[in-house]
Every structure is written in C-alpha cells, then in structure tokens.
C-alpha cells in the first residue's frame, strides 16, 4: 500500500519569526498548487510577493498583532506527493529588509493561545474541504463569556482573505492557495486531493496550540508544607 499526502506536488509556504524579545519562535503556513498539475518551481519573485503581502497583514492595525512578535522570513519549498522535499529544485527564501514588528502594544497573550483560521475549499466538506492556519501574535481580549468580538473576527477573516487573493494573483505565482488531503488508504495515491481554497472562517474562541519552548527560561518559586 502507498500512502501519499498530496494528489500533486505542492509548494509549502512557511512564514516565521520571533516573539517575546526573541526568546521564542513562531511559524505558520499554507500550501500553493493545483488539483490537477504539479506546482511549478518556487521563484524568488513569488516569495517576495508573499513576503510583501504578509507584511501588510502583519502590520494591519485592525488585526492588532503584538509588538513583541516579529516577522522575519518566508520560505517556499516544493514537496513531492509523499510530503518529502523535492530535492530537484531549490527552495526560495525572502526576508524583509528589517524584522517587521507587530502593531499592538501591551502584554501579549501566552504563546500557547492561538487564533485559528479555517481555510474552506470547495463545498468545505469531505477530503480537503477544510484546512487550518494558526495566526501569530493575536492579542485581542475576550469578553466575560470567553468570546472574541464578532466584528473583530470578521475583520481578521476579511484581511486574511485579502492576503490570499494577493498571493493567488501575485507576479511569479506558480499556483493558487490549496488545501491538501492525503485521502484514504489507497494504492497509487487514489483519493488524495488538492482543493482550491475559496473562503476563510475565523471563530470567536481562542484555540490551544501545543508548542515546544525554544529559549524562554522558566523559574520556580517554592513554599514549604509543614510536617505535622
């Protein structure tokens, strides 16, 4: 039996940076490709276009990404159908001229909290119908019921959709934003699907993101329990 993660070769777009004064790192991303053909070679022009579009999103004042977060690079790497790097082409990396800092001042949320965007594709049902993207540095407050403001969530969804529209029409583009599904167990990859993303949904509750600490030091305080 062969287990393939993608119907076609795709480009994995990785956005990354630092947070909390450089003590921690964040990373998020998405896929670019086609349901029917392999993605082309990643290009510097496309990487630069995604970089510029993400800078616009990252600095948008209506989103309010914490100013303890920086955006440092975008990387484009082509993946084979088995999710391994395609070594026949070089990845492309693009850096802003200087690290881009989020706009919102004040104390950030704990790094384990994340606002998740659902990437809807096709009818948003079945294989490849939904993808997930963790948005870094969101520091919007919740109300007494634990919910984010609905108007704010709509603004984030709209801005992220604008970002994807820019990616899809960028100069040097080698595909469109897709969800990638490995499908069910099947020979020769039958059932694997790539589906064009056609919508963004942002819920009004924070999610928990499991993450490993990079260099954020932890200190402990002790208290004695009396022996009786």
Range of the domain at 180: 10-208
Q: Is residue 223 part of a domain?
A: no
pLDDT in tens, 90-115: 999 999 999 999 999 998 898 888 89
Total number of domains in the chain: 1
Cα–Cα distance measured from residue 55 to residue 31, given in angstroms and rounded to the nearest whole number: 18
Q: Is the pLDDT of residue 146 over 80?
A: yes
Q: Is residue 14 part of a domain?
A: yes
- pLDDT on residue 173: 75
Task: Please answer whether residues 136 and 221 qualify as being in contact, where contact means their C-beta atoms are separated by less than 8 angstroms.
Answer: no
Round the average pLDDT of the chain to a whole number and report it.
87
Q: Is residue 148 part of a domain?
A: yes
pTM: 0.87
Buried b (16+ CB within 10 A) or exposed e, 32-66: bbbbeebbbebbeebbbbbbebbeebbebeebbbb
pLDDT in tens, 26-41: 999 999 999 889 999 9
Q: Is residue 29 part of a domain?
A: yes
What mean pLDDT is predicted for residues 189-212? 82
Q: Is residue 169 part of a domain?
A: yes
Q: Is residue 20 part of a domain?
A: yes
pLDDT in tens, 50-96: 999 999 999 999 999 999 999 999 999 999 887 788 888 999 999 99
- pLDDT on residue 153: 96
What mean pLDDT is predicted for residues 188-214? 79
Cα–Cα distance measured from residue 226 to residue 228, given in angstroms and rounded to the nearest whole number: 6
Q: Is residue 107 part of a domain?
A: yes
Q: Is residue 201 part of a domain?
A: yes
Q: Is the pLDDT of residue 217 over 80?
A: no
């Amino acid at each position: 039996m062969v287990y393939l993660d993608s119907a076609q070769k795709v480009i994995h777009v990785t956005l990354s940076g630092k947070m909390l004064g450089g003590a921690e790192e964040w990373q998020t991303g998405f896929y670019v490709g086609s349901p029917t053909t392999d993605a082309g070679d990643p290009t510097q022009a496309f990487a630069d276009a995604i970089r510029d579009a993400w800078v616009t999103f990252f600095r948008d004042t209506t989103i309010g990404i914490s100013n303890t977060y920086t955006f440092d690079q975008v990387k484009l790497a082509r993946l084979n159908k088995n999710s391994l790097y395609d070594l026949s082409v070089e990845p492309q990396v693009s850096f802003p001229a200087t690290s881009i800092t989020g706009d919102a001042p004040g104390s950030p949320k704990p790094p384990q909290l994340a606002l998740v965007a659902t990437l809807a594709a096709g009818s948003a049902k079945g294989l490849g119908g939904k993808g997930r993207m963790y948005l870094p540095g969101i520091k919007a407050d919740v109300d007494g019921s634990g919910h984010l403001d609905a108007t704010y969530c709509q603004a984030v969804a709209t801005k992220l959709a604008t970002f994807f529209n820019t990616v899809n029409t960028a100069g040097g583009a080698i595909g469109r934003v897709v969800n990638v599904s490995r499908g069910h167990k099947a020979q020769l990859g039958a059932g694997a699907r790539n589906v064009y993303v056609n919508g963004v949904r942002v819920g009004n509750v924070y999610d928990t993101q499991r993450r490993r600490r990079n260099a954020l030091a932890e200190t402990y305080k002790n208290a004695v329990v009396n022996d009786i």
